[in-house]
Structure 1
Amino acid sequence: MWRPDSWQTRPLQQFPPYPDLPALQKATQELQRLPPLVTEAEIDNLQRQLADAAAGKRFLLQGGDCAESFADCNTDSITAKLKILLKMSLVLVHGLQKPIIRVGRIAGQYAKPRSDEFESRDEQVLPSYRGDLINGAEFDAGSRTPDPKRLLTGYGLASLTLNYIRALTESGFGDLSAAEHWDLSFVADSPRADEYRQVVSDVRRAIALMQTVAPAPAQRTEFFTCHEALHLHYESALTRPGRDHRWYNLSTHLPWIGMRTADLAGAHVEYMRGISNPVALKVGPKLPLDTLRRLCQALNPERLPGRLTLIHRYGADQIESLLPAAIQAIRADGMPVLWCADPMHGNTRTTTNGIKTRRFDDILRELESSFAIHHDCHSVLGGVHFEMTAEPVTECLGGASGLEEQDLERAYKSLVDPRLNGEQALEMALSIVRVSERLC
């Protein structure tokens, strides 16, 4: 029988080596006494909208930091993250002609899986940085030691972040008709510059028209949160009973399972199969089709629409050979899923200087292939998933601004994976519209 802690009987991957397990238990017990961060009603609403996206009636825009920093819980950072997602969603609403579901990797994306348990620098070996929920990024023994108190800090900052997000969205967020919010000087040298400017001009005119013809009080902008459900002590402590004997993870609206923890017999699948949230699964090139089908059955045994999102991340060079078979396998089983493209993770590379980066052209190539393959397979690509920030970082190569390897060190801030900056993210949204129009 499933319980919020039944995962503890299963093999647990990516568990940080806490030196003080009684302190971890104490922190978990404290979390169990604290209020939830999101509500059942919000979660159920999201699942209904995701079911619409799977049917082609809505489109999912999922994006945000690869790993949130505790230090980013501040007014400017939160506002900027919301604003870039809102700008992208307005471009997509106009171009796709359908409602956009906005889901931010925010207010909980504090833990990250790692391929290597340890990191070496100058002959010193320390535990890898696993996200602020677990340890610190500073390369010293004290920071890299997993600290259970960070679970409570993460909860508190997630709560503050969500509170501010709700305050913004409840009061009507931002005047995005202002010209400075749509500065496209960065696409000046792009061969599609005129096309981009026309799309943005149309969006701005539509906003102005709505404000002129039907002025109304500020309306709430729906905004949901997501994160990888990696730290199961944290997740299960915030799992609470709901209606009809159902259990909800009330730390976020949409938790997902990453590739490193997608073990059918493992703790993460055991935990996720029992909660009533919509859940997502990352699907990569090393996941056998039979295992994918069995994971879908485990995570959505009742075959509920909107319950399961499959986020494929094959890489630009492999997607054409792998995605069609995955679509066909899921269709053959009659499993209702929402297909979502993550063109980021399969395209990570390391420069000659040892800097982790991604090429904008590779990201765009996988995204274009995703739309084309789903179209050719008579399937629906109902969403996209980006690691991105509104900040003018220099972490991904290319884009309209033409960032090159020598530019990376100028403003490389990510502690884990490279992100699209605000200009590259908006350019990606404009590209989605262009690709969609071409396929229609």
Structure 2
Amino acid sequence: MVKLRRPLLAAASVSSAAALLAPQPATKPLTARSVLASPVDAPWSPGSWRNYEAKQIPKYDEEKLRKAEEELAGSAPLVFAGEVRTLMSDLGRACKGDGFVIFGGDCAESFDEFSVDHVRDTFRVILQMALICTYGGGQPVIKIGRMAGQFAKPRSSSTETIDGVTLPSYQGDNINEDKFTAEAREPNPSRMVKAYHQCAQTLNILRAFSTGGYADLSRLHNWNLDFVEQTQQGSQYRRLATKVEESLRFMRAIGVDTTTPEFTQSNFYTAHECLLLPYEQAMTREDSTTGRWYDCSAHLLWVGERTRQPGLAHFEFVRGIQNPVGVKISDKASPDDVIEILDTFNPKNVPGKVTLITRMSADKLREHLPSVLNRVKAEGRAALWVCDPVHGNTYTSSNGFKTRDVAAIKAEIQAFFDVHEQCGTHAGGIHLEMTGKDVTECVGGDMNAVTVDGPRGLDTKYLTHCDPRLNSAQALEIAFMVAERLRGQAGLPAMLD
């Protein structure tokens, strides 16, 4: 696994590095014209997406957009090609059954909510979840944060109407503001540059925490968040941490050196939805050692249900980058659709290149996923399967809050494991919108539960800028459930018996 060891280098320092990733200059302004889907072997460049219809991308002032693209293209990469290749290798092993992926982080990052504490708290919850699943399942866990780039969000409508006034929809802090004024909702390319600088800070924080001693396994008890401490999940975590500490003492007693990086550092990757293509192109670099193009805004990029169609700009851009890519799959995706995605994004059938992220709800998953799994398996296609149990379970509560029910989320994960067992395929991971804060945005949970209303109702700490997120206690509850499923697959007894 890649270690996030390097602090983000200044642009001047990067330019003198031996493994320079040359910036791709901004090209012609955005266009939006529909053409036929390109074949797998068609010529590709970082800007070839501009010849295709681009959905979910705002209309900018072209001169302001050009200046922002030029500034980004001349900036330092946020991640490096070698790190991306290492993630591909890790995902490849998971694709073959040796590994499990945990994606976690905010629905949408914001400028106002950014802080060291916020990044740290979400990071350590993911560390906790990974420890729980590693101990439970006995296989490596790949940790990927929805961080350092998860700003833009797709919208079902390009406009929003309130009290008879219609304005552009809020599309994320790197595009416009959520305040309902004409000025705030005007797409502003300079916000991409501001987002870049926040991403650089976020990656510096993650690198510091992952390699600077915070992730040391000897600090297991210190990873518990204060508000989780008194919950059932906090108690379970303390018991698990004690068991791991006992194992570490045993290893030290027989001569194993537990001060090496394998015990004191963690491996952490970043990912976000590949939505704002002017930003993604500006962050795409040619690797000097291979001559291949990498989107250096994140280690992994994914495309969603609204932008993964052949013949559209996002499909064209993603097919050419060398990063591992994720593709969201709903019940609307047929086996033929999925095979076309794999043909285009992974023509050489490389394990780890494509992660298929299902988002269906439990009942629809049980009905629709088996035929897709069986087709992919029968054709010998390499695909890592991950469950996104949150997006298919969103609804509006009786008091007007967009929310999700923890019970429904857990039911979809159980269905995901059941169907993979039925089909003889590997359930390879989970993808959650979650935070380290004690928010009250998703209802339910075994202990310290969130209710629609009341003392711990949705309105108590509903802080999200977009979709509802699991809080830490709810995320740990799900991690323990997943760990028991992994443990059961390995034929092991219950984890904390």
Normalised TM-score (structure 2): 0.84
Q: 2:193 aligns with which of 143, 149, 152?
A: 152
Given that 2:101 and 2:141 are in contact with CA atoms closer than 8 Å, whether structure 1 keeps it comes out as yes
Please report how far the alpha carbon of residue 202 of structure 1 lies from its aligned counterpart in structure 2 after TM superposition: 2.7
Aligned to 2:465: 415
Given candidates 247, 266, 272, the residue that maps to 1:221 is 266
Q: Mean Cα displacement is larger for which, 362-371 or 283-292?
A: 283-292
What residue is the counterpart of 1:297 in the other structure?
343
1:252 aligns with 2:298: yes
Query: What does residue range 33-432 of structure 1 map to in structure 2 within 5 Å?
Result: 33-174=74-215, 176-178=219-221, 181=224, 183=228, 185-187=230-232, 198-199=239-240, 201-206=242-247, 214-216=257-259, 219-242=264-287, 243-400=289-446, 401-406=448-453, 407-432=457-482
CA contact (8 A) 1:349 1:356 kept: yes
1:195 is displaced (CA, Å) by 7.0
Q: 2:459 aligns to what SS in structure 1?
A: helix
Specify whether residues 334 and 215 from structure 1 end up closer, same or farther in structure 2 by C-alpha distance, changes over 3 A only: closer
Q: Secondary structure at the match of 1:244?
A: coil
Deviation, structure 1 residue 211: 7.2
| Closer/same/farther in 2, CA of residues 197 and 5 from structure 1, 3 Å limit | same
In the other structure, the counterpart of 2:486 is 436
Decide which moves more: 283-292 or 365-374: 283-292
Distance between the aligned counterparts of 1:177 and 1:81, measured in 2?
15
Q: Which moved more, 1:158-167 or 1:221-230?
A: 158-167
Alpha carbons 2:221, 2:238 under 8 Å: kept = no
Q: Using the TM superposition, give the Cα deviation of residue 351 of structure 1 relative to its aligned residue in structure 2, in angstroms.
A: 1.1
Shift of 1:172: 2.0
Structure 1 unmatched ranges of 5 or more: none
Distance 2:244 2:419 in 1: 28
Shift of 1:248: 0.4
- Counterpart residue number, 2:70: 29
2: CA distance, partners of 1:256 / 1:268: 10
Moved more, 230-239 or 279-288: 279-288
Quick one: distance in 1 between partners of 2:250 and 2:475?
Answer: 26
Tell me, in whole angstroms, the C-alpha distance in 2 between the residues paired with 1:196 and 1:315.
28
Residue 198 (structure 1) shift? 4.9
Distance across 2 between alignment mates of 1:210 and 1:149: 53
Per the TM alignment, residue 166 of structure 1 is displaced from its structure 2 partner at its CA by: 1.1
Deviations, residues 190-242 of structure 1 (Å, cap 9, x unaligned): xxx99777545434544565678744166331110000010010001111111
User: Quick one: which amino acid aligns to residue 488 of structure 2?
Assistant: R
CA distance in 2, matches of 1:94, 1:393: 27
Q: Is the 8 A contact 1:72 1:78 kept in 2?
A: no
SS of the equivalent of 2:368 reads helix
Measure, in 2, the Cα distance between the counterparts of 1:357 and 1:113.
Answer: 18
Does the 8 A contact of 1:87 with 1:176 survive in 2?
no
Q: Is the 8 A contact 2:99 2:141 kept in 1?
A: yes
Residue identity opposite 2:128 in structure 1: K
Identity over aligned residues, as a percent?
A: 38
Distance 1:180 1:59 in 2: 21
Aligned residue pairs total 435
Is the contact between residue 177 and residue 208 of structure 1 (CA under 8 Å) also seen in structure 2?
no
Task: Flag structure 2 segments of 5+ consecutive residues without an equivalent.
Answer: 1-42, 492-497
1:6 is matched by which residue type in structure 2? S
> Aligned in 2, Cα 1:205/1:417: closer, same or farther, shift over 3 Å?
farther
CA 1:121–1:207 in structure 2 vs 1: closer, same or farther (change >3 Å)?
farther
Which amino acid in the other structure matches residue 373 of structure 2? I
Asked whether the equivalents of residues 176 and 185 of structure 2 are also in contact (C-alpha less than 8 Å), the reply is yes
- Provide the C-alpha distance between the structure 1 equivalents of 2:108 and 2:309, rounded to a whole number of angstroms: 23
- Structure-2 change in CA distance of 1:8 and 1:119 (3 Å): same
TM superposition shift of 1:177: 2.7
Residues 171-180 or 354-363, more deviating: 171-180
Matches of 1:36 and 1:156, distance apart in 2: 11
Deviates more, 1:409-418 or 1:285-294: 285-294
Q: Is the 8 A contact 1:177 1:207 kept in 2?
A: no
In 2, Cα distance between equivalents of 1:194 and 1:80 = 18
* 1: CA distance, partners of 2:104 / 2:252: 28
Check the 8 A contact 1:255/1:279 in 2, yes or no: yes
Task: With the length of structure 1 as denominator, give the TM-score of the two structures.
Answer: 0.94
What does the per-residue CA deviation read over 1:293-331, in whole Å, with 9 as the maximum and x for residues that have no partner?
Answer: 111111111111110000011112211001101101212
Preserved contact between residue 128 and residue 223 of structure 2 (Cα < 8 Å): no
Secondary structure at 2:363 match in 1: coil
Instruction: Out of 256-265 and 218-227, give the one that drifted further.
Output: 218-227
- CA distance 1:207–1:178, change in 2 (3 Å): farther
Residues 120/186 of structure 1: CA separation in 2 closer, same or farther (3 Å cut): farther
RMSD: 2.0
